[in-house]
Chain A
Amino acid sequence: GQQVMQIPQYQHVQEGEDFTTYCNSSTTLSNIQWYKQRPGGHPVFLIQLVKSGEVKKQKRLTFQFGEAKKNSSLHITATQTTDVGTYFCAGRLTTDSWGKLQFGAGTQVVVTP
Chain B
Amino acid sequence: NAGVTQTPKFQVLKTGQSMTLQCAQDMNHEYMSWYRQDPGMGLRLIHYSVGAGITDQGEVPNGYNVSRSTTEDFPLRLLSAAPSQTSVYFCASNNRVNEQYFGPGTRLTVT
Q: Which A positions have Cβ atoms within 8 angstroms of B? A: 2, 6, 9, 31, 33, 35, 41-45, 48, 88, 90, 92, 97-106
Chain B: interface residue total (CB-CB under 8 A): 24
Q: What residue in chain A is nearest B102 (Cβ atoms)?
A: A42
B90 touches A99 (CB 8 A): no
- Report the bound CA distance from A100 to B51 in whole Å: 13
B99 and A99 form a contact (CB under 8 A):
no
Q: 9 closest A-B pairs (Cβ-Cβ)?
A: A99-B31, A105-B42, A103-B43, A42-B102, A103-B42, A99-B94, A45-B99, A43-B102, A106-B42
Known A99-B33, A99-B48, A100-B48; judge A43-B98 contact (CB<8 A).
no
A35-B37 Cα distance, complex, nearest whole Å: 14
Chain B's nearest CB lies how many Å from the CB of A21? Answer: 13
Query: CA separation between A101 and B31, bound complex, in Å?
Result: 12
**B interface list, Cβ under 8 A from A:** 31, 33, 35, 40-45, 48, 50, 56, 58, 90, 94, 97-105
Find chain A residues with CB under 8 A from B35 CB. Answer: 103
Cβ of A9: which chain B residues have Cβ within 8 Å of it? 40
Measured in the bound complex, the distance between the Cα atoms of B100 and A97 in whole Å is 15
A92 to B31, CA, bound (A): 14
**Given A33-B100, A42-B105: A103 and B90 interface contact (C-beta under 8 Å):** no
Q: Are B45 and A101 in contact (CB under 8 A)?
A: yes
Task: Output the least CB separation between A16 and chain B (Å).
Answer: 28
In angstroms, Cα B50 to Cα A45, docked, is 20
A87 to B56: give the CA distance in the assembly, Å: 27
